[in-house]
Amino acid sequence: KAVEIVDAEVDFSQYTDISEVKFASWGGSESARARLSILDGCLHFASEEATDPSWDCQFFPIGGVDAEVDVTYTLHFKVKGDHNGNVSMLGFGQTPYGQFAITTDWVEGTVDYVATNNDGNILMQCGDWIGTWDIAYLKITHEGKEQRPATWQEWLTDDGNSIIPGVE
């Protein structure tokens, strides 16, 4: 029977300052860190100008998954922006880059990725976004098999007359 396995999860409402967020991999570029903050319980991105090149503004908002090649992983998210657009996103060695769609309404959605290597990090490249967006949470899952519960059997008994060496 298939079950959903949670590989990584981050709820940004648990943070009050961006310095508390544990980004995955090497974290992010200086230009991304300058544009990120925690606002109203969300990871908040704000940019007044694009970077050149656009990939100069990139960061790893979630990761640490030891991904299995050819397994489909799902990124769950809740996001909202000040305008409709896309942010480039790369997950688990996926090529070409995917597009993380952002709208002016809060959207809870999912994006599926097939891992092409063991790097279980999500990379967002947002240097061409001018404006703001907020992410409430991110979660990475995959479908796995239900594990059989461990059944313990009591094989040792104590009849009260046992002698254990070294124990009085």
- Residue-level pLDDT at 167: 56
Residue 45 has pLDDT above 60, yes or no: yes
- Mean pLDDT value of segment 48-59: 94
**Is there a contact between 67 and 115 (Cβ–Cβ < 8 Å)?**
yes
The pLDDT tens digits for 10-32 are 999 999 999 999 999 999 999 99
User: Which of 43-47, 80-84, 88-92 is least confident?
Assistant: 88-92
Q: Pull the structure tokens for residue 15.
A: 């943070």
- Say how far apart CA 142 and CA 84 lie, in whole Å: 28
Q: What pLDDT does residue 120 have? A: 84
Q: What distance in Å separates the CA atoms of residue 38 and residue 43, rounded to the nearest whole number?
A: 5
Tens digits of residue pLDDT in 100-158: 889 999 999 888 888 888 888 889 999 999 999 999 999 999 998 876 666 666 665 65
- Cα angle 52, 54, 60 (rounded to 5 degrees) comes to 135
User: Residue 16 is which amino acid?
Assistant: T
Can you give the pLDDT at residue 155?
Answer: 60
